[in-house]
Amino acid sequence: MKDIQKKLLKHLKKELKFVEEGGYRRPSWHPPLIFEDSPACPKYRDPGNLEVCLECPLRALVREDLREEKIPCRHIPLNERGETLDSLYRSSTQAEIETILANWLKAKIYELEASPVAR
């Protein structure tokens, strides 16, 4: 498996565990930001440092024309309708977003593990 895919797979598994353990439902002073408020996020320990987004494995899943956005992971298509966190934040509840996210994470992990490159 290529290094980038290994890194991405590890990142996605860590994120799925966080979601399944209710990580985004913990009390906070602000509504939770998917990916950004996860320990899997490179800027989790340094929230002001947007430069670490350049190193994030999730960036590879963002359309090329959106990779330079301030928070690129908000633009990853999470379902067949192409909904992203950016669009879901405006139209869905937290529970709906978490369900869509968990389904997407499971599918993406399965896809990466089943990939011929993974063998």
pLDDT in tens, 15-37: 999 999 999 998 888 888 999 99
The predicted structure's pLDDT at residue 48: 76
Q: Is the pLDDT of residue 64 over 80?
A: yes
Euclidean distance between CA atoms 30 and 66, whole angstroms:
25
E strand or H helix at 14, and its extent? helix 3-20
E strand or H helix at 36, and its extent? none
pTM score, whole prediction: 0.88
Residue 85 burial (CB count, 10 A): 21
